Structure 1
Amino acid sequence: MMSNLDGVRWGSATAAYQIEGAVDLGGRVPTIWDVFTAVPGNTTRGDTGAIACQAYEKPEAMLEAIEWLGLETYRFSVAWSRIITGPGGEVNPEGVAYYRRILQELRDRGVAPVVTLYHWDLPQWLQERGGWASLATADAFVHFVRVAAAELGDLVDDWITVNEPFCAAFHGHLSGLHAPGIRDEATALRAALMQLHAHGEAVRALRAVDAGFRVGLAMNLSDLEPASDSPADIAAADRADLVENRLFLHTLLQGRLPDGTVDYFGADAVDAAVDGIDVARIAEPMDFIGINYYEHNVVRAAELGTDLVVRGIEKLPVPEPRSANGVAVRPDGFTRVLLRVAALTPDLPIWVTENGIGLWDYVGPDGTCDDVERVAFIERYLDALETAIAGGAKVEAYYFWALMDNFEWPFGYQLRYGLFYTDYPTGTLMPKASAEAYRAHIARGSTSIDETVRRNGAAA
């Protein structure tokens, strides 16, 4: 029987700082995350990415996991700090050699690589010169992009310029939960638009190297609903939607700031944020749009507010089922987000560049990791994906986050997202029940997860 999922490419994803470790090896220079994690209290138990999954020194485990799953495509990021080592734009041959090896290994296994160029690990020397508040950082990014394309482009067809500019801007520069740990709304707005500006310039730079490259951006979009039909709650949900969604989605696709931007941020802040940026040039045509989906939130108005990013709102606690860190499991929200994007740009292919759930996974006495919640999550979210495609969403690829447990930003190593259980002291990877389920789905195409798990005797 034909399925709406037929033709979707199946993949998984990781990011450099979260898996590579070896922060002092191979010519790599420090990043904002190296500095941020060195400050006590910024991460769980002071965890850092210094060792992570040891994917720089021992990439074989990662590559074997990719092959075992039968992935058709794998998304990972290239660390800016391993390729460019200073203000002079110097190229590090050791970093280039490492990524060429990974890319060749993937291609030898029949896996299509997708390279993310910025996944939050800004070189520290750039932060010291203004970071994402400075046009010079965008210029430096374009230089890095040109180098990466020239050095790796014969092994890469698909590129993602920037990952989740919302998180890098507003959690890095307003909530302070992410590196570089700044807490200033005007700086956050400037960082948001600077990343979008850098994206537009990077798209043009990539195509100048090879017009055949496929290029997109990965943004996280949240599904939001007001807590009631009161005008105050509706307005609160709209404010959250402006900051978390429309500021990125509409600017990227339409080349203009969304309605309400000046009313919310203020004319002076907006003028400062766009200084030196041609907003219209942000909307450079893309070959696909990457959507990362995790969050559904119910929003109500609150005079003082408890949200760390959006003023005057409160996000209500979500009921079960939810992730270990309280994120709602709402596959219907996933469908709505995909259909929203499709309605804005019906002809642009959508790639689900991240989707997953964080759990307190553990290895039981029998030596297995029976992550039944993640197995159920995959089943429900792939059903939601099929519903979105039936509704008109032109989804071409799906990347489960993450391939293996890794350094989860402020949560450190406590929260686990992986299909593979990572034993951090050794770097050993062990497939969880969810890996068995996802592997079966990939192998059998449109056959349901429940059926394939039962057939293989894995836990469901």
Structure 2
Amino acid sequence: MPDDSSLVLHPTSLPAAFFPASTPASFSRADFGPDFHWGAACAAYQVEGAWQQQGKGPSIWDEFTRRPGAIKRGEHARVSTDFYLRYEQDLDLAQSLGLTDFRFSVAWSRVLPEGTGALNRRGLDFYDRLVDACLERDLRPWLTVYHWDLPLALQQRGGWANRAVVGWLADYAQVLARHLGDRVQHWMVLNEPMVFVGAGHALGIHAPGRRSLPGFLAAAHHATLAQAEGGRALRAALPGTARIGTTFSCSHLTPARPGHGPSEAATRRADALLNRFFVEPTLGLGYPTAELPTLGWLLRRYQQAGDQERMRFDFDFWGVQNYTREVVRRAPWLPLLGAALVPAAKRGVPTTEMGWEVYPESIYEMLTQYAAYPGAPELVITESGAAFADYPQGGRVPDVARRAYYQAAIGQVLRARRAGVPVSGYFPWSFTDNFEWAEGYRPRFGLVHVNYETQERIIKDSGRWYGEFLGGAVVEAAAQRVASATPAQGS
């Protein structure tokens, strides 16, 4: 068995970061009220497999994973967790844990192999079956229209750098609404636009693997327009009770030198780009260019008359997707931003397998930041989680650190609710282990462990705890904080 310290962690050996003092002393599901949404999340490309079955067209990730060196260990998602064939098994597990909601995305090229034009009925039938299977198990389906897997045919026509993508996305959203809108009430237009345009068009580490400032700016502006236009397309097709949202990646940012003017200014610039860039246009505020004037000047190359109004849309909810905080330092040698993130490993803090700091309070900070906007809609934590190395032992997966993370994270959601933040749901990322993009299969976020060779599923101890919590078990955070301050014995 691999040598991994997380296997021997227990509450007396976990660092205090897992049990922040700001967490309520004790709480249970009942503290959130009867209408709170308790779910878990997955995404098409990361779990479905069946990459070219039953008429599915290729996506940009199918192409990107074939590039040497693009994905760690040369891994790909052609099978992944085989959700395309095993979705009923996974939904049975979700039902057994007491989940009330299940978030998934649709693979655009499974439904429209060329991105536009002819519909692949066999691909759409899969999502018909998936939605029906959710409802049969009393799981409310939450559908993400776009979770990073653009059809390759559209990339060959310019992809997100082509303004036509705004119409392509809206037409695709209407196809889904017409076929699934009679049963799906919760919709999300985009998943984390800053990540897919930043990592895919500026850094080149995600599909389509571009490294271009003009390409990034074009893609960012078109994604902002598509986010609103997709919302309008869904609302036009679903004028009744449908709830329409979109999701934003975010991290609470703190300066490396608090009180130091240049460091504070760098943090404000980073916040404008990472946390506010896609949020404020939906409110009619335009881009946050006061902090980033050069960026604003460059963006004007891609804007047309009336775009500020086109970027505005009154979403019913925002999906808040938070995993950590970041510490920002001034970096005048970096163009546009003049700021850099200080890696968690250099700060001597507890980290996850992704190298992210364990900092559950970031959830509270970002919920309060977004709720402070005049006109902000309802908020939902549509992703929250932590990757730790974990392995089966005697038929169980003792992922103590992940369980502690979820206890603290959910406590921070309750803290926000008690502060008046209108947050109405919590979705762990992810339901099962899955393909984690450029990182491949090593990072495991799941509540359910997957053996990728046999496709065996084992509910981890964190998943068992989540089920117990949803059944009414009480979290005693105060007792855990005392334990975490006690010297570990035998660890």
TM-score, normalised on structure 2?
Answer: 0.87
SS in 2 for 1:95: helix
Is 1:254 matched up with 2:284? yes
CA–CA distance in 2 between the matches of 1:58 and 1:112?
19
Q: State the AA in 1 paired with 2:282.
A: L
Residue 220 (structure 1) aligned with residue 249 (structure 2): yes
Per the alignment, residue 332 of structure 1 pairs with: 361
Secondary structure class of the residue paired with 2:78: coil
Instruction: Tell me by how many angstroms 1:242 deviates.
Output: 1.4
Correspondence for 1:161 among 189, 201, 206: 189
Instruction: Give 2:316's aligned residue.
Output: 287
Distance 1:88 1:410, change over 3 A: closer
How many angstroms apart in 1 are the aligned matches of 2:120 and 2:100? Answer: 30
Q: Which amino acid aligns with 1:348?
A: P
**Cα deviations across residues 241-290 of structure 1 (Å, max 9, x unaligned)?**
111011112122234111326513251x2112324771222221111111
Give the secondary-structure state (helix, strand or coil) at the position aligned to 1:182.
coil
CA deviations 1:75-115 (Å, max 9, x no partner) are 10011111112265111101111000010010011110000
Contact 1:346–1:394 (8 Å) recurs in 2 = no
Greater relative CO, 1 or 2 (CA 8 Å, sep 6+): 2
Cα distance 1:382–1:128, how it changes in 2: closer, same or farther (>3 A)?
same
Query: Hey, what does 1:456 align to over in structure 2?
Result: none
- The 3-state SS of whatever aligns with 1:178 is coil
| Segment drifting more, 317-326 vs 288-297 | 317-326
Q: Superposition pairs for residues 162-181 of structure 1, below 5 Å? A: 162-181=190-209
- Alpha-carbon offset, residue 302 of structure 1: 2.5
Checking the alignment, whether the CA contact within 8 Å between 2:58 and 2:113 is kept in structure 1 is no
Q: 1:319, CA displacement in angstroms?
A: 3.4
SS in 1 for 2:450: strand
- The answer for the alignment partner of 1:372 in structure 2 is 400
1:69 aligns with 2:94: no
Whether 1:84 aligns to 2:96 is: no
The residue that corresponds to 2:143 in the other structure is 115
SS in 2 for 1:325: coil
State the superposition RMSD in angstroms: 2.1
Q: After TM superposition, list the pairs within 5 Å mapping 1:97-112 onto structure 2.
A: 97-112=125-140
Residue 264 of structure 2 is aligned to residue 234 of structure 1 = yes
Matching of residues 5-404 of structure 1 within 5 Å = 5-7=32-34, 8-86=36-114, 88-212=116-240, 213-228=242-257, 229-260=259-290, 263-265=293-295, 267=297, 269-275=298-304, 278-304=307-333, 310-317=337-344, 318-345=347-374, 348-364=377-393, 366-404=394-432
Secondary structure at 1:207 match in 2: helix
Shift in Å, 1:198: 0.9
Letter in structure 2 aligned against 1:230: H
Any idea what the Cα deviations from partners look like across 1:103-143, whole Å, max 9, x if unmatched? 00100111100000000000011111111111211111111
User: 338-347 or 88-97: which moved more?
Assistant: 338-347
Q: Retained in 1: the 8 A contact 2:268–2:291?
A: no
Contact 2:324 2:360 in 1 (8 A): no
Secondary structure of residue in 1 paired with 2:51: coil
- C-alpha contact 1:52 1:406 (8 A) present in aligned 2: yes
Counterparts of 2:85 and 2:279 in 1: how far apart (Å)? 37
When normalised by structure 1's length, the TM-score is 0.93
Q: Which amino acid aligns with 2:80?
A: A
Q: Which stretch of the first structure deviates more once superposed, 128-137 or 185-194? A: 185-194
Distance in 2 between residues matched to 1:343 and 1:266, nearest whole Å: 24
- Report the more deviating stretch, 367-376 or 319-328: 319-328
Structure 1 residue runs of 4+, over 6 Å off? none
Unaligned residue ranges in structure 2 (runs of 5+): 1-26, 481-491
Structure-1 separation of matches of 2:119 and 2:245:
24
Question: For residues 52 and 443 of structure 1, do their structure 2 counterparts lie closer, same or farther at Cα, with a shift above 3 Å needed?
Answer: same
Give how far 1:193 is off. 2.0
1:442 and 1:273 map into 2 onto residues whose CA distance is 47
Aligned length: 448
- The equivalent of 1:448 in structure 2 is 475
Q: Match of 2:51, as an amino acid?
A: V
* SS of structure 2 residue aligned to 1:359: coil
Deviation at 1:54, TM superposition (A): 0.3
SS in 2 for 1:195: helix
DSSP-derived class of the 1:248 partner: coil
Separation in structure 1 between the aligned mates of residue 437 and residue 199 of structure 2, nearest angstrom = 11
Q: Report the Cα distance in structure 2 between the residues aligned to 1:183 and 1:17, rounded to whole angstroms.
A: 23
Q: Tell me which amino acid in the other structure corresponds to 2:328.
A: V
Evaluate the alpha carbon distance shift between residue 139 and residue 110 of structure 1 in structure 2; reply closer, same or farther with a 3 A threshold: same
Q: Partner residue of 1:409?
A: 437
SS at 2:279 equivalent: helix
- For 1:115 and 1:426, the matched residues in 2 are separated by 28
Q: Which moved more, 1:104-113 or 1:83-92?
A: 83-92
- SS, match of residue 50 in structure 2: coil
Distance 1:397 1:43 in 2: 33
Report the identity percentage.
Answer: 34
The answer to whether the Cα contact below 8 Å between 1:255 and 1:282 also exists between their aligned partners in 2 is no
SS at match of 1:341: helix
Cα offset, 1:378, TM superposition? 0.7
